[in-house]
Structure 1
Amino acid sequence: MRIRAGRLRRTLLAAGVAAAVVIPVSAAARPGIPAPAPAELGHVTARTLTHAYAANRANATAAAAMAERYGARSRAAELRSMAARSRQFLAFDGRGAGRTAEVFGDLAAADRVAVLVPGSDTSLDAYGRFRNGALALHAELGPRTAVIAWLGYETPGTVSPAVLTTGRAEQAAPALRSFVAGLRDINAHARVSLLCHSYGSVVCAGAAADPRGLRVADIAFYGSPGTGADKAADLHTTARIWAGRGADDWIADVPHTSVGLFGTTVGFGTDPVSGDFGARVFAAGDGGHSDYLKPGSVSLDNLARIVSGDASEVTHA
């Protein structure tokens, strides 16, 4: 009975996501919480990294004060925590849903760097889970590594018209590509990997498929609805392509197809964990859609091995 209930829950949730593409969710318009423009950082290098962190903390402090005056107490509290001296933001924008790139570890000295790209419903107002995953990965990897939680785009809502179309990803891909290229000016020797969750898979695939290339060693898709590509080879990247999905992840019940509907393309094509896609499939355990970076999980262990370059140590599904 428990197995049937789990399947029913995942199926209903998947159906709700699919329905949202053609049945927009009505909600009261929420005015934007005011915040200052991002700090003028110029070209960030290893030498100016400390200055960039300080400037972004100061910007978060100013954003918190504006949010407090506006009456947005929850947002103000989150922004104040982001302004703490221990926080390291390579990029920060408190306007709207928010854009950030938080660094865990010594980015300039790291031998390996993992860039986490989130999926739907990630914003300044729902940032904790994303940050906790980055912290868990960094703890698993240990010193001489850096993890970057890259919230560099406006993620779609899980139940929204945008979540099964490529629009948000097409806007985000150039920003991700530029961000990764900029890391070379801070640390030219580090081995860089992209870890892409859910809708973030579509963003990473778009960045990788650009003819100008994306200089990363590995790209891992997990909890992915698809990438927009039929096969891993279509991404035209030299990076090793990985894919994993937990046994209790409802994303498995979302149709892995791509169809034209009402003037747009709905869906993201081939299932990345299928043989037809051609990725290296890693074991992700029995977790759900939000469990991939959970401490002690099979998926976290394997993602850490991928970032470390230990391909032979990765366990397979």
Structure 2
Amino acid sequence: MRGRVREVWAAATGGGRSPEGGAGRSTAGATRGRRRRRLRLLPAVLVTAAVVVPLTAAARPGIPAPAPAHLAPLTAATLDEAYAANRANAALASRMAEAHGDSHRAAADREMADPSRKLLAFDGRGEGRATEVFGDLAHADRVAVLIPGSDTTLDTYGRFRAGASALQERLAHVSGAGSRTAVVAWLGYTTPGTVSTTVLTPARAEEAAPRLREFLRELRAVTGRSTHVSLLCHSYGSVVCGRAAGHLDVGDIVLLGSPGTGVDTVAGLRTRARVWAARGGDDWVANVPHVSADLFGTTVGFGTDPVSPAFGARVFTAGQGGHSDYFSPGSASLANLARIVLGETTEVTRA
């Protein structure tokens, strides 16, 4: 089914990559006329997604899971209690999923329940939500919070977690014992599907923004006001950050592989944070029209390209990686992200 959507996307965008980075690359010399053709045919992609996604979603029944654990307010003193309660909740969710016959979700939940995991939050219902810590959050001087993009659920959480873990390892390697760091993987909202109408609109981001603001307020109760927090926003996650930016107490906002933020310039974000942006050389987002339009009463698209000079972000080098490669070990992108988180801004290689 998704293969058919890729074909329609390729036809609608003049042979460009699918939203998932699939078959069909547009040539380097794409003309303005081809870009206009993409815009004219974008409604075709919307209609196709509107038909396909409900059919694919209906094929999988709901997975039973317990309500999230009831926790005391988060503080440095209650972290271990929260970690233990959420691991226990994940273990129960795994048993319920197994009894329901969903071995894949049961395995994902079981991994969450491992004694080594530090879960600030866990909800196994539906697509699932989780917030996980890497490092010593209670004593961190610098914290990076990762916001994921589309198709990130408990079933696909492993790839998101791998990026957070790679960043923490890089931070620890670069900073050594002289700087205490932590990374938080925040899957605190229901992400849109890559092949869906929701990924083209700000609706999910508008739902997620208040949750992100609340989480960052809770985080301050653990870390204190002096800890420097960087927000690393990938793909559709950058739309979430754009919606929340004006109310966030963070030092840096980093937009990675962003389709846009919903505003035309950095000033439109209404934030005092430094705003950074990067896009890998092989990221299919480069082929997405960076426009915003009203279609049938719904806003579609997210406006100005964050790596364009018109947006006004601090653009840095991300290497030649693709849409899912920003946190790959050894990459130029990961090296620059670590520098931003550590405050070594003069060392960031600028594009």
- Mapped partners of 1:33, 1:9: distance in 2: 39
Superposed counterparts of 1:215-230, under 5 Å: 215-230=249-264
3-state DSSP of counterpart to 2:312: coil
Q: TM-score, with normalisation over the residues of structure 2? A: 0.85
* Residue type of the alignment partner of 1:37: A
Q: CA RMSD in A?
A: 1.6
Q: Deviations over 1:13-43 (max 9, x none)?
A: 1579874433314224122100000000131
Q: Which has the larger radius of gyration?
A: 2
Aligned partner of residue 50 in structure 1, secondary structure? helix
Q: TM-score, normalised by structure 1?
A: 0.94
- Which residue number in structure 2 is paired with residue 309 of structure 1? 343
Determine if contact 2:140/2:182 at 8 Å carries over to the other structure. Answer: yes
Q: 234-243 or 8-17: which moved more? A: 8-17
- Paired residues in the alignment total 307
Q: Would the aligned equivalents of 1:17 and 1:160 in 2 still touch at CA under 8 Å?
A: no
How far does residue 263 in structure 1 lie from its aligned partner after superposition?
Answer: 1.3
- What is the aligned partner in structure 2 of residue 100 from structure 1? 130
Partner Cα separation in structure 2 for residue 288 and residue 234 of structure 1: 28
> What residue number does 2:107 align with?
77
Aligned twin of 1:171: 207
Matched, 1:192 2:229: yes
- Structure 1 pair 193–9 and aligned structure 2 pair: CA distance change class (3 A): farther
Residue matched to 2:30 = none
Give the helix-richer structure, 1 or 2: 2
Tell me which residue corresponds to 1:145. Answer: 181
User: What is the deviation of 1:9?
Assistant: 9.9
CA distance in 1, matches of 2:257, 2:265: 17
Q: Is the 8 A contact 1:257 1:269 kept in 2?
A: yes
Task: Provide structure 2 residue ranges, at least 5 long, that are not aligned to the other structure.
Answer: 1-12, 20-37
Describe the shift of the 1:67–1:10 C-alpha distance in structure 2 as closer, same or farther (beyond 3 A). Answer: farther
Alpha-carbon shift at residue 10 of structure 1 (Å): 7.6
Runs of 4+ in 1 over 4 A off after TM superposition: 14-19
Opposite residue 227 of structure 2, the aligned amino acid is: A
Measured in 1, the distance between the counterparts of 2:222 and 2:85 equals 17
Identity percentage of aligned residues: 64
Of the three residues 334, 338, 341, the one matched with 1:300 is 334
Q: Which deviations, in whole Å up to 9, do the C-alpha atoms of 1:156-201 show, x marking residues without a partner?
A: 1111000010000000000001101111110113110000000000
Question: 1:240 & 1:273 partners in 2: Cα distance?
Answer: 14
**Structure 1 residue 11: deviation in Å?**
1.1
In the alignment, the residues of structure 1 paired with residue 191 and residue 286 of structure 2 have an alpha-carbon distance, to the nearest angstrom, of 20
Aligned-pair CA distance for 1:262: 1.4
